[in-house]
């Protein structure tokens, strides 16, 4: 294992990469490409060669917007749940009504055995 010494500290490549916030492969590539150790550890470049932005990752209002969206989503989910339950109840009521009407409209069914005995008796 090769150790690198910089600013009085001696560490392996993986530890140096972790220390400065780089991937070990990135640090190894920089050194292999001829970069000095100081430059490889201190320059914070993206793969495209552009300097990384120092702006915060999110806009200050993003958290407030995310909270409002979550609240709206919860309210919508609750509303949809109520609508679904109402639909299921009305559908269930319609099925019960349909089965009651169907039972009133048709005579009670007899078993095949009773039906065959009845048919034999009328012959």
pLDDT digits (tens, 9 = 90+) for 69-120: 778 878 778 888 888 888 888 887 777 777 777 767 666 666 666 677 777 6
Of the candidates 62, 31, 30, 57, the one whose C-alpha atom is nearest the C-alpha of residue 46 is: 30
| 43 Cβ neighbours under 8 A, 6+ residues apart | 35
Q: Distance (Å, rounded) from C-alpha 109 to C-alpha 99?
A: 15
Maximum Cα interatomic distance, the chain, rounded to a whole number of Å: 115
Query: How high is the pLDDT of residue 37?
Result: 92
93: which strand partners?
Answer: none
| 10 Cβ neighbours under 8 A, 6+ residues apart | 3, 4
pLDDT digits (tens, 9 = 90+) for 22-81: 889 989 999 999 999 999 988 875 555 555 555 555 566 777 777 777 788 787 788 888
């Amino acid at each position: 294992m090769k150790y690198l010494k910089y600013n009085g500290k001696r560490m392996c490549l993986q530890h140096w990469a972790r220390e400065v916030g780089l991937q070990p492969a990135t640090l190894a590539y920089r050194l292999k490409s001829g970069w000095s150790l100081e430059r490889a550890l201190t320059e914070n470049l993206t793969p495209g060669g552009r300097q990384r932005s120092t702006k915060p990752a999110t806009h200050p209002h993003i958290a407030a917007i995310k909270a409002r969206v979550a609240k709206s989503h919860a309210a919508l989910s609750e509303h949809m749940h109520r609508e679904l339950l109402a639909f299921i109840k009305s559908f269930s009521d319609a099925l019960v009504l349909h089965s009651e009407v169907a039972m009133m409209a048709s005579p009670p069914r007899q078993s095949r055995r009773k039906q065959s005995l009845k048919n034999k008796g009328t012959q």
